[in-house]
Amino acid sequence: MNETIEELKEELRDAKTRLFHINSRMSELDYLIERRRETMEDIEELERQLKSQKGEM
Please give the Cα distance from 49 to 57 (Å, whole number): 13
Identity of the residue numbered 8 = L
Successive 10-residue mean pLDDT values, the chain, 57 residues:
91 98 96 98 98 85
Name the 3-class secondary structure at 57: coil
The C-alpha atoms of residue 42 and residue 34 are separated, in whole angstroms, by: 12
Which pLDDT score is estimated for 6?
Answer: 94
